[in-house]
Structure 1
Amino acid sequence: MALKMARDDLTEFLAAEFPQVAQDFVIEDVAENRIRVRLATQDRHLRPGGTVSGPSMFALADVGVYLAILAMIGPKALAVTTNCSIDFMRKPAAGADLIAECRLLKLGRVLAVGEVLMMSEGGDAPVARASLTYSIPPE
């Protein structure tokens, strides 16, 4: 299955449909069933102690899988998360951007399942792992 949206298309879509958060995320690479997204960490993403908060990490995982799905099926704004599970494995580096490597495990007509591995920029060990399921709107 070929990509239906490239990096620039996804960036424009995110800015148009989600302007409130689009500036937080940088799409670094898109390939079939894969995407790499960066959380451009700001003060609002940090918890006491200066590390990236859990809700910000959830947002990165959620946006990453959402964009991976759209890259494959095209601009369907109403695809929605139906399940998410996150394992927080270690504290992110203080103030560092987070990088999410997202992979689609299943892309069906109705449901998509993806996994995300999050790393602190420059780190070599994952800080979190997430599994997400999305409902895809009918044609």
Structure 2
Amino acid sequence: MQLTPIMDPQALNRFLEADFPQLHTDGKVFEVMEVGPGTVVMRLMPNERHLRPGGTISGPTLFALADVGAWCAVLAHIGPVALAVTTNLNINFLRKPEPGPLSCTCRVLKLGKRLAVVEASIFDENDDDLVAHATATYSIPPR
């Protein structure tokens, strides 16, 4: 399946700022870095709010990164449809990420008229270790 994106990183970041401003309540920590055929790479620059006791990035923060990154992968290929919503997300936490930048590589596995399925792999940018893996399903509203 060869998918052609219709939104680039700048368009996705503008959309997030305009339609999902609460994502940046504590400063801009999420940013779409790359868009390709069937893929999106999102970066997280965590701050104190994203840390948990034990000196690691919290599970809810990793979940949010997977969800927002996968949602952006869908939007990159269908356009700015704010009401495409998560219907399921399963995540496996594989190792403890140290505080610092994370990268989430998302790959669209299926893009239908009503549903999209995306795989999200979260890496620690400082050592390229896979820290979490998720699969997500999104409901796409009728046009």
Q: What is the TM-score with the length of structure 1 in the denominator?
A: 0.96
Q: Does 1:31 align with 2:36?
A: yes
> How far apart in 2 are the matches of 1:37 and 1:90?
19
Deviation at 1:50, TM superposition (A): 2.1
Q: Does 1:81 align with 2:83?
A: no
Gaps of 5+ in 2: none
> How far apart in 1 are the matches of 2:102 and 2:51?
12
Q: Does 1:16 align with 2:18?
A: yes
Contact 2:4 2:38 in 1 (8 A): no
Q: Render the CA deviation track for 1:78-133: whole Å, top value 9, x for unaligned.
A: 0000001000011002x111110110000000000000111111223200000000
Taking only aligned residues, the RMSD between alpha carbons, in angstroms, comes to 0.9
Q: Render the CA deviation track for 1:36-81: whole Å, top value 9, x for unaligned.
A: 1011110000111221100000100000011011110001000000
Which ranges of 4 or more aligned residues in structure 1 deviate by more than 4 Å? none
Work out the percentage of aligned pairs sharing the same amino acid. 51
Which of 41, 45, 49 is residue 50 of structure 2 equivalent to?
45
Gaps of 5+ in 1: none
Which of 118, 121, 126 is residue 122 of structure 2 equivalent to?
118
The residue identity in structure 1 corresponding to 2:38 is N
Deviation at 1:26, TM superposition (A): 1.3
Q: Does 1:4 align with 2:6?
A: yes
Q: What is the TM-score with the length of structure 2 in the denominator?
A: 0.93
Q: Secondary structure at the match of 2:64?
A: helix
Q: Secondary structure at the match of 1:21?
A: helix
Of residues 40-49 and 1-10 in structure 1, the stretch that sits farther from structure 2 once superposed is: 1-10
Which of 109, 126, 130 is residue 134 of structure 2 equivalent to?
130
